Structure 1
Amino acid sequence: MRSLYLTVIITVASTIVYAQTPLITNIAGRKTTSLNGKWQYIIDPYGTGFYDYRFLERKENDREAYWNTDVPENKTDRKEHKFTDEYTLNVPGDWNSQAEKFLYYEGIVWYKKSFDFTKANSTDKVYLYFGASNYETDVYLNGKKLGKHKGGFTPFNFEVPDSVLKATGNYLVVKVDNTRHKDEVPTVNTDWWNYGGITRDVQLVEVPPAFIRDFTLQVQKGAALKTMKNVPVEGWVNVKDWQNTREVTVELPELKIKKIFPVTGERVNLRFNLPAMQLWSPQTPKLYTVVVSNGADRIEEKIGFRTIEVAGKQVLLNGKPLFMRGICMHEEIPQQIRRAYSKQDALQLLGYAKELGCNMVRLAHYPHNENMSRTADSMGILVWSEIPVYWTIDFTSAEVFNKARTQLTEMITRDRNRASIIIWSVGNETPVKPARTAFMRNLISAAKSLDSTRLVSAALEVNYQAGVSKIDDPLGEFVDIVSFNEYLGWYAGLPDRCRTAQWEFAYDKPFFISETGAETLYGFHGDSLTRWSEEYQEWYYREQVAMFKRMPENFAGLSPWLLCDFRSPRRNNQTFQEGWNNKGLIDQQGRKKKAFYVLKGYYEEKGL
């Protein structure tokens, strides 16, 4: 039965494509034109701009389709849609935080951006790149459909035909629909706010016909780093229109390295040694400029070189034992009740983590903005990056698997050169059953085929039984590090239950506590037994820390739930929640709760 299921997934998944692939990477290092700023919008809860009155998708030249011009030909021309500057939204940005009428809105919003554009070089190709848009996105330029994408947290791009793009008077129309559906990833049931909109940058990217679409370079897997001299590195360069490219050059100017490789196919394999160098780590987040060129195209990227692996019961970073002092975080700025998107937002959130004493963050429960991973690179913060395979998606569906695998591919493609990312996660708290295990095992295999240099994990659940906490999920056999979410003292008894907790592990691997936490409202005080009080959360963390100190030797770290309070429509205690999950160590106004300092003290001790 299992083999049949896997075959069906592979067969069906290969036929479903939601956006043009493969993805262009290193957008920051290319010639771009930003389309950020004010966009006009129309709220369309019935999908009138997309469907006719028989609920059939409108044809491309349908005058009433919202992707076609809203300008009447004459005074008798009937137009039943109109974009205007009286109704605008900021891009990037979620719509929920920009007007009160959007607060709980889930559905379709049409965006329109008018612009002029002239290519720097007449022979260049132009791509339209979206950092992310939640969730289902249909893109039209000057009345022509460029394509469609599903997934709210990963980038996508479309090539823009020369016949469509104009020097003046372009109008880009984007239909964004954040409606939740059972057969999507994530599904209808989540514990975070479903922010809708074009939430990340939109850019036009200019490249020559034969351009470097993607590349990667990292320390060779399994390399013995006894010294920092002659370090073997390997990777590849992906060249578009490779038939017109003779060679690829890779340079690291600081190390006086210049290597030339012949081009005999779309992918050019790289392998060479680096001289005396400094490895990337949280203590020394050294980044080297890497220049890749092919004559027509030249891109630069900042890359840190390091190794991450499991050896026996330990996680090793650059060959040395690593204890991850982590924290979970959502991509949200609580003080402004909005989706985070900018470098400044990343600096704020990662700055909080640094102050807490963290050397690692778990980005929950979806890939965060590229600004986050790039900032983590420069700040020296390790990263767990995850796709939103969350709780109860349809694990029997080949189409759902394809959606998950597509998001996994887009996440890894975008961030494979980020030294900070050491763990790819394929999901969170998924129910134990055969179909789910096959589904997740396939995702793990896909992650390893896309990137064999990092660890792969998933946040599992604890099996609480008569005083014994068992970690026996069958998925543990396939992950590199066994990670689980435990809430002894919040969802299971009181915090003093930690004192008698017994742990049983079915797998002889390093283990990681991917979540633990208790909810409290900042400023509400009582004794330690009073739920929702700061004192209860403080007690919870004191008991948890004491338990951590008694954990077995294969305890590799933790990422408590979580850094900051965040919005969630599941949290409806009108006294203590009011639509917020308040398990944060920092509250909605950026104020630190008492438990912040308990965890900070533990991390300071572990960091010695």
Structure 2
Amino acid sequence: MKTFAAGLLCLLLPVAPAWAAEAPMQVYTRAAQSLDGEWKVIVDPYENGYYNYRYQPFDQQADPPKGAYFRDAKPESPTDLVEYDFDTAMSLQVPGDWNTQDPRLYYYEGSVWYRKKFDAPARRPTDRAFLEFGAVNYRADVYLNGRKLGVHEGGFTPFRFEVTDRLRPRGNSLVLKVDNRRRADGVPTLNTDWWNYGGITRSVGLVVVPEVFVRDYRLALASLADREVAGRVQLDGARGGEEVSVALPELGVRQRVRTGADGQAEFRFRVPGARLWSPEHPQLYRIEIASGSDTLVDRVGLRTIATRGRQLLLNGEPLFLRGISVHEEYAADGGGRVRDAGQARRLLERARSLEANFVRLAHYPHNEHMARLADEMGLLVWSEIPVYWTIDWANEATYRNAEAQLEAMIGRDRNRASVIIWSLANETPVSDARNRFLSRLAARARALDDSRLLSAAMEKHYREDDPDMAVVEDPLAELVDLVSFNQYIGWYDGTLDKIDRVRWQIPYDKPVFVSEFGADAKQGLHGDAGAIWTEEYQAELYRRTLRMLDRIEGFAGTSPWILSDFRSPRRPLAGVQDGFNRKGLMSEKGEPKQAFHVLRDYYRQKAGNAPP
């Protein structure tokens, strides 16, 4: 039996100058001054606000001219030439993508400047202040009051800057140059099958904390048999020897420990009366971590996830993952990226209506709302980074980018009981360079968090001597805990009849998870079950595929592709796709297709809740 003990490796990473810090900072439950709402924006396809006419960056000059947009300058005389004005510019809402807020920006890829004016909150002389960004897609150059704070790359992970000594009492000007252009060396790279939403897509806030504060913590059930909890607290600004109190009041737990020279304090205690977290009983407990004048309050669940041969075990009991894949896109209310907890909840409620107990949050780290709501709603979670298709495997900078996104994802969500799987990649072709890249990521993920399972969405092939024998063999399968793969037999691979013939060869003593299957269907389009694009074809593919998957030894669950139709520029077929991937079990508006009911009935049977 393979088990995963609790542990914490705090990410106190060396940060290169001018690049945003990725070290975790738990801010979701802290009071913050919201900077969401209306921001003034200037669309800048030629980046005139960043480069001079010699294509030299203004922010690398000792005295940048007023023409640099981050100066947020005003003319000082009637002859003072300043060719921009944020005050009279157009506005966009933050959080939100620019593509769905203005029809002129629907297909736009390039730079947009954002500006927000704000006053600093009252604070004590020793307090510290951080600007916290939930996510900005893709590159963010950040300036406060005309001075550069730094740069962040990656469209789906949080980042922050300390601004303690840079705030003015009133009239602060926060400016971002946001660039969503796709890059060959980026993560993801140039080619994806989802929309490249640009903008400040998640919340922005100003967090004020004491000089010494609780930056991060890790807590997990280390022993199922003994109900022993273990973890670690990280103080920022500590000198060593500070007292830290860790309490779970509902369980009668309060423990005091002291930090070492590195500001870390470890704790361990037993909770014999604790109720374990599960989809059926998503029990969460209040945790209070205090040191000096700072207290961090959160809610945590206690559970274990493990494998035993080809079985998945949640809290020591066999587990079948009744899953569905989900994109962070909500088409109602104007569409685009999920903007708030309400939209996130409605997506997860759609998944629950399928009788699902699991969601694969594809293909990038989703908003923190998703994992926290999954904690509350009893949905297990697969979380992944956008190492997708054909990354620049030999580029060290690309690897560092992927590793930074992995670290940020794990650092943010490793206290969420719902998250049971970290995923490294999706549909990546096997090569020596790719194997080295993903092996390094796997080792890093293990070092950061050994209390969860590790996987990736791999691919299949066929035996040369038997075209009906599908084989899943990949060097990556040796490094992960769950053999997961995508397959589209009956859609990209043959016709419906092929589904009935295929047999599977998976030579690993590990649970098998089918991370994708499906077919496109336009909601409301009906016809013969043999005609593609119809609801009938999609439903029949689901019926046959589910029967096929049930024959796989060690089949531990699936997350078909996908919950709802979503935007993709790869899908131009007029009258059917119209710019949407139509593999959703629902339309983009949440209207169920026939296959929705097929999968729901299957999951009801798996859960033992099938109607008579």
For Structure 1 versus Structure 2, the TM-score category normalised by the shorter chain is over 0.9
State how far apart, in whole Å, the 2-side matches of 1:72 and 1:246 are: 52
Offset from partner CA, 1:437-477 (integer Å, 9 cap, x none): 11011101111100000001000011134111100011111
State how far apart, in whole Å, the 1-side matches of 2:101 and 2:580 are: 18
Pairs within 5 Å for 1:533-548: 533-548=534-549
Residue matched to 2:221: 219
Alignment pair present for 1:76 and 2:79: yes
Residue matched to 2:280: 283
Letter in 2 for 1:598: V
Alignment pair present for 1:527 and 2:554: no
- Bigger mean CA offset, 539-548 vs 513-522: 539-548
Letter in 2 for 1:283: E
SS in 2 for 1:538: helix
Check 1:86–1:400 CA distance in 2 against 1; reply closer, same or farther (3 A cut): closer
Between the two proteins, what is the percent identity of the paired residues?
A: 48
Alignment pair present for 1:330 and 2:330: no
Residue matched to 2:461: 463
Residue matched to 1:6: none
Residue matched to 1:135: 138
Letter in 2 for 1:573: L
SS in 2 for 1:400: helix
The question of whether the paired residues in 2 share the 8 Å contact of 1:334 and 1:564 is answered with no
The question of whether the paired residues in 2 share the 8 Å contact of 1:18 and 1:150 is answered with no
Runs of 4+, deviation exceeding 6 Å: none
Deviation at 1:25, TM superposition (A): 2.9
Deviation at 1:348, TM superposition (A): 0.7
The question of whether the paired residues in 2 share the 8 Å contact of 1:61 and 1:68 is answered with no
Deviation at 1:112, TM superposition (A): 0.4
State how far apart, in whole Å, the 2-side matches of 1:97 and 1:60 are: 38
Offset from partner CA, 1:103-142 (integer Å, 9 cap, x none): 0000000000011113332210000000000000011000
Residue matched to 1:3: none
Alignment pair present for 1:596 and 2:593: no
Deviation at 1:143, TM superposition (A): 0.4
Residue matched to 2:302: 305
SS in 1 for 2:148: strand
Offset from partner CA, 1:130-175 (integer Å, 9 cap, x none): 000000001100001111100000000000042x211111111011
State how far apart, in whole Å, the 1-side matches of 2:331 and 2:15 are: 40
Deviation at 1:429, TM superposition (A): 0.3
Residue matched to 1:4: none
1:293 to 290, 293, 297: 290
SS in 2 for 1:483: strand
State how far apart, in whole Å, the 2-side matches of 1:251 and 1:85 are: 51
State how far apart, in whole Å, the 1-side matches of 2:169 and 2:23 are: 26
Letter in 2 for 1:602: Y
Residue matched to 2:201: 199
Deviation at 1:588, TM superposition (A): 2.1
Letter in 1 for 2:352: K
Residue matched to 2:317: 320
State how far apart, in whole Å, the 2-side matches of 1:22 and 1:151 are: 11
SS in 1 for 2:374: helix
In structure 2, list runs of 5 or more residues that go unmatched.
1-12
Letter in 1 for 2:211: P
Residue matched to 1:421: 419
Deviation at 1:575, TM superposition (A): 2.6
Deviation at 1:392, TM superposition (A): 0.4
Alignment pair present for 1:515 and 2:525: no
The question of whether the paired residues in 2 share the 8 Å contact of 1:308 and 1:318 is answered with yes
- Bigger mean CA offset, 560-569 vs 342-351: 342-351
Check 1:531–1:18 CA distance in 2 against 1; reply closer, same or farther (3 A cut): farther
Alignment pair present for 1:170 and 2:167: no
State how far apart, in whole Å, the 2-side matches of 1:288 and 1:587 are: 37
The question of whether the paired residues in 2 share the 8 Å contact of 1:328 and 1:362 is answered with yes
Residue matched to 2:43: 43
Pairs within 5 Å for 1:423-502: 423-465=421-463, 466-502=467-503
CA RMSD of aligned residues (A): 1.4
Letter in 2 for 1:155: P
In structure 1, list runs of 5 or more residues that go unmatched.
1-12
Residue matched to 1:94: 97
Alignment pair present for 1:571 and 2:578: no
Alignment pair present for 1:582 and 2:582: yes
SS in 2 for 1:23: coil
Letter in 2 for 1:562: I
The question of whether the paired residues in 2 share the 8 Å contact of 1:141 and 1:172 is answered with yes
The TM-score normalised by the length of structure 2 is 0.94
2:244 to 232, 248, 264: 248
Residue matched to 1:29: 29
Query: How many aligned positions are there?
Result: 588
Offset from partner CA, 1:40-94 (integer Å, 9 cap, x none): 0000001111111111111253121110032111211110121135500000000
State how far apart, in whole Å, the 1-side matches of 2:420 and 2:21 are: 25
